[in-house]
Amino acid sequence: MKIIQTRNYDEMSKAAFNVIADTLKENKQASINTTTGASYDGTFELLVEAINNGDVSIEDSVFTNLDEYVSEREKSFSVYTYMHKNFYDLIKSHPKYIGLLDGSVEDKQAEIDRYNEVLNKNPRDLQIVGLGTNAHLAANEPGTSFNSRLFLADSDESTIQSTMGYHNLTSEEAPTQMLTMGLADIMEAKHILVASSGERKAEAVKATLEGPINEDCPASILRAHPNVTFIMDDAAASLLEKDYK
């Protein structure tokens, strides 16, 4: 595992952007599966700028996503909305294929089957994940099997609270389920990128990097992968016993 500790969020965003940009420069046909949320807001801003300036080419690439809330697709908090608002609607050129889950469909198993075909056709060169405050990856909450595959997941209360805070939602508005790639799906990627920022992530970072590898800490499985880049700012690293600078 390559661990990068930065001073602040802006430096973390730049480091994460560099991983994505390098992936696309090394392989114009790269398949990239991404997450959404506060940890990557700055990274997406940098990526949009680089694409529109012609510094990064994505026309031959494939972009897919980790998960999607079970809700109407156009809700303000949906992954669909985030990806369009923060990326697809802002860039002058687009990937040759865009894959998004649809949590609004009635037949969830049919959607899981459809998206499994998308994933199987597009083996991931880079898997981008965020780290939940309880060390979840995608919607794989603590206790989820390391062998999990794309499934319908119930969100833990801490995850629901994070969603409410980030999207300014009431408890009645907040989604409680997600269609999500499983941990086994995530681990199949050639390279995994993790970015984590802020003191609220410090306990999860410590558990992930220095705690036991077990299903109580889903992100700990990353230490069993041969090619992970883990980026954190000083605040997120504040509880670590080792110095990773």
Q: What are phi and psi of 128, to 5 degrees?
A: -105, 125
Q: What percent of the chain has pLDDT over 90?
A: 91
Task: Indicate which residue of 136, 156, 167, 185 is catalytic.
Answer: 136
> 2-18 b/e with 16+ CB inside 10 Å = b?
ebbbbeebebbbebbbe
Active site residue 141: yes
Average pLDDT, the chain: 96
Task: Indicate which residue of 33, 67, 111, 167 is catalytic.
Answer: 67
Helix ranges (DSSP H) in the chain: 9-26, 41-52, 79-83, 108-121, 157-167, 183-187, 202-210
Whether residue 95 is contained in a domain is answered as: yes
CATH code assigned at 139: 3.40.50.1360
Q: Which domain holds residue 210?
A: 2-233
Predicted TM-score (pTM) of this structure: 0.94
Task: Indicate which residue of 134, 140, 156, 191 is catalytic.
Answer: 134
Whether residue 239 is contained in a domain is answered as: no
Structural domains of the chain, count: 1
Whether residue 92 is contained in a domain is answered as: yes
Per-residue pLDDT at 53 exceeds 80: yes
Whether residue 240 is contained in a domain is answered as: no
- Other Cβ atoms less than 10 A from the Cβ of 74: the count is 10
Whether residue 63 is contained in a domain is answered as: yes
Burial-class residue 173 by CB neighbours within 10 Å (0-12, 13-18, 19+). Answer: middle
Whether residue 88 is contained in a domain is answered as: yes
Say what the pLDDT of residue 109 is: 97
Mean pLDDT value of segment 139-147: 96
CA atoms in the 13 A half-sphere facing the CB of 217: 17
Say what the pLDDT of residue 197 is: 97
Mean pLDDT value of segment 137-144: 95
Whether residue 241 is contained in a domain is answered as: no
Active site residue 52: no
Whether residue 244 is contained in a domain is answered as: no
Confidence band, pLDDT 50/70/90 cuts, at residue 78 = very high
Active site residue 67: yes
Mean pLDDT value of segment 24-40: 96
Task: Indicate which residue of 68, 141, 185, 234 is catalytic.
Answer: 141
Mean pLDDT value of segment 106-122: 97
Per-residue pLDDT at 134 exceeds 80: yes
Confidence band, pLDDT 50/70/90 cuts, at residue 39 = very high
Distance (Å) of CA 81 to CA 6, 42, 129, 178, 228: 29, 17, 18, 15, 28
Per-residue pLDDT at 158 exceeds 90: no
